[in-house]
Amino acid sequence: MYLVGFYSPKAKSGVTELALSIYNWLKLNTNTAAAFISYGKLEKEETSNELIHEFSKLSLTEQKRKVKLMKNEYDIIIYDASSQLSEGVLKLLPIVDRLFVVGEEHTDFAVKLQKIIQFDKIFDKSVKNFITHLRGSKTFIIRENKEDRVIGFNYSKNETNTIGQMVYTDYVTRYLEEKFIEKNIKIFKKILRIPKKDLYKGLHELGIDFEKALLFHEYVFLREALGQDYQEALENLFPLLINSTYKEIFEKFQNEINFIKKVKLL
């Protein structure tokens, strides 16, 4: 369901060790079904259906197909993309849900990588979604251990726990959002099937309080009277129906009417 990528442009940066520690942390501290994919070869770990390596040997199409199948089977997949900046890695990174660029010295690299992909997306649409993963909270620069500055990436048990918690929190949030969105999409589709003149009746039959349903009906028809398309009005006001109380909707409805009256008086 949820694919988390770990990457560093620097060879022998400890990305694989870090990614494996997060994978093991998830298996030990959560009840999620976790899996691990390594772009390169793993020397010590015993591979299985949930822990695979040498992903680079598969074609891009096979990689995407494999990830799609695994997303249906596992809750969280840790993707160890450590290697030099190859075309294969760059092609697969766009499908991750969350990307960690390892090493605080790579802050500039993350920015440069974003610019490269922004340029590439003009010619290759497969990378267009990756842009969002290098903005804001979607990119994490995992810091090196300040007390032991050596070449490569150093991590402690504390950092593993912090990053593991972050990954798990992201997964839970994503899961809840998807379920909430799926539920709302189903409700909205049902609302679209209600005859326009019977909107309030249909909403009440779907379980909406009668007064709230009647007010929403009036609000939609107000928007339509102002020139908005009926379906567009439904779509724009739907979040209000789902997330707001009768009182909150009434206040917004009344404010809109008052604003219209003021405009007409001017």
Q: What is the pLDDT of residues 109-141, one digit of tens each?
A: 766 666 665 565 555 555 455 555 555 455 666
2-178: CATH, from 3.30.70.270, 2.60.40.10, 3.40.50.300, 2.60.120.10: 3.40.50.300
Q: Say if residues 82 and 16 touch (Cβ distance below 8 Å).
A: yes
* Ranges for all domains in the chain classified under CATH 3.40.50.300: 2-178
Q: Is the pTM of this model over 0.85?
A: no
Q: Count CB atoms within 10 A of the CB of residue 98.
A: 21
**Residue 79 phi, psi dihedral angles, 5° rounding:** -110, 110
Residue holding tokens 């298996």? 27
For position 56, what pLDDT does the model report? 81
What's the mean pLDDT in 98-103? 76
Which DSSP letter does residue 146 get?
A: T
How would residue 150 be classed by pLDDT, with cut points 50, 70 and 90? very low
Read off the pLDDT of residues 38-72 as tens digits, 9 standing for 90 and up. 888 887 888 888 898 888 888 888 888 888 899 89
For position 149, what pLDDT does the model report? 40
